Amino acid sequence: MYTVGLQQLIDKMNLENCTPEIDISNIEISQTDVNRPALQLAGFFDHFDSNRIQVIGHVEYTYMQKMEKDHGIGILSRIFECQVPCIVFCRNMDIEEGILQLAVKYGIPILRSRKTTSSFMAEVIRWLNVELAPRISIHGVLVDVYGEGVLITGESGIGKSEAALELIKRGHRLVTDDVVEIKKVSDETLIGTAPDITRHFIELRGIGIIDVKTLFGVESVKNIQSIDLVIKLEEWNRDQEYDRLGLEETYTEYLGNKVVCHSIPIRPGRNLAIIVEAAAVNYRQKKMGYNAAQELYNRVTNNLMKK
């Protein structure tokens, strides 16, 4: 279970804190979903998830305006008693002094956004899905090659960092070296980032640590990248059969998501950077609907049928 501090939400969404006297340093958000408490304002609290951010839109605000003062205060008191993380008023709506006093009494921050309700909810849910996503850390190198996120894995010392350095010199961008933090933001999307302590650094055996951003410029690095393709480097094994056509995709799995994976045997003289580039371009071509292996298979099949 991961959490996000309320202050991070305020800073990211540019929210106005209408109750600055409340200490928000220990308030954490743990749910990616938000709630518009329309049914709660009507008095229905069954299945109410008090861990969600509560959002007051134009409909809820208008309904509250039409409620009798004592009844409205009583309903809001029930919401505050549930110890929700915060309540956000959208559209920069005016907030009555009585609501602010009640919020201070229960220690529930009242925030305000200039955005419309729908756009605020969409943005905050998207952001929370990334920040609170399940995650793991693996040993590898992540690079952006022609816009495709290529995760290079393999045993320590096999040449992952050297391949990444050559790719950087060829105009591609480094995301992270040695440790890749993978987040599952949806059932189809994995994103990779670097730990703060090692961001933009590469370790080269015999040389040491180099700062890619300083040596090659800001255009050579990137902070976050989706993981589209995995290149697994392994020692050449004479007795092992390697795929030479690529008619069938092989996959590896991270956090329940499958990612296309190619096993590349390492031998002296092989240019890993060019191989990774070719794999990335071929993967992009397949996404666009063209499969070179399938095209070759069709040509051979048609030629045999003519005979």
The enclosing domain of 184 has a CATH number of: 3.40.50.300
Task: Report pLDDT for 307.
Answer: 64
Q: What is the pTM of this model?
A: 0.81
Binding residues for Mg(2+): 161, 203
Q: Which residues are catalytic?
A: 139, 160, 178, 244
Q: Are 133 and 184 in contact (CB under 8 A)?
A: yes
Q: Percentages helix, strand, coil for the chain, rounded to the nearest 5?
A: 35, 25, 35
3-class secondary-structure state, position 134: coil
Let me know whether 88 and 199 are in one domain: no
Let me know whether 151 and 277 are in one domain: yes
Task: Report pLDDT for 139.
Answer: 94
Rounded distance between C-alpha atoms, residue 248 and residue 240, angstroms: 18
Average pLDDT of the chain to the nearest whole number: 91
Let me know whether 57 and 82 are in one domain: yes
What secondary structure letter does DSSP report for 263?
E
* Number of structural domains found in the chain: 2
Question: Given 131, 158, 187, which residue is the final one in a domain?
Answer: 131
Task: Report pLDDT for 295.
Answer: 85
Question: Does any domain span residue 54?
Answer: yes
Task: Report pLDDT for 72.
Answer: 80
Let me know whether 100 and 161 are in one domain: no
Question: Given 78, 105, 131, which residue is the final one in a domain?
Answer: 131
Rounded distance between C-alpha atoms, residue 128 and residue 51, angstroms: 13
State the DSSP H helix or E strand holding residue 285, giving kind and residue range, or none if neither.
Answer: helix 272-287
To 10 degrees, what angle do helices 69-81 and 97-106 make?
30
Identify the domain containing residue 92 by its residue range: 4-131
Let me know whether 152 and 127 are in one domain: no
Question: Given 106, 131, 156, which residue is the final one in a domain?
Answer: 131
Confidence of residue 1 (pLDDT cuts 50, 70, 90): confident
Binding residues: 154-161, 203
Let me know whether 235 and 184 are in one domain: yes
Let me know whether 69 and 127 are in one domain: yes
Let me know whether 46 and 99 are in one domain: yes
Let me know whether 163 and 119 are in one domain: no
Mean pLDDT calculated for residue range 29-37: 94
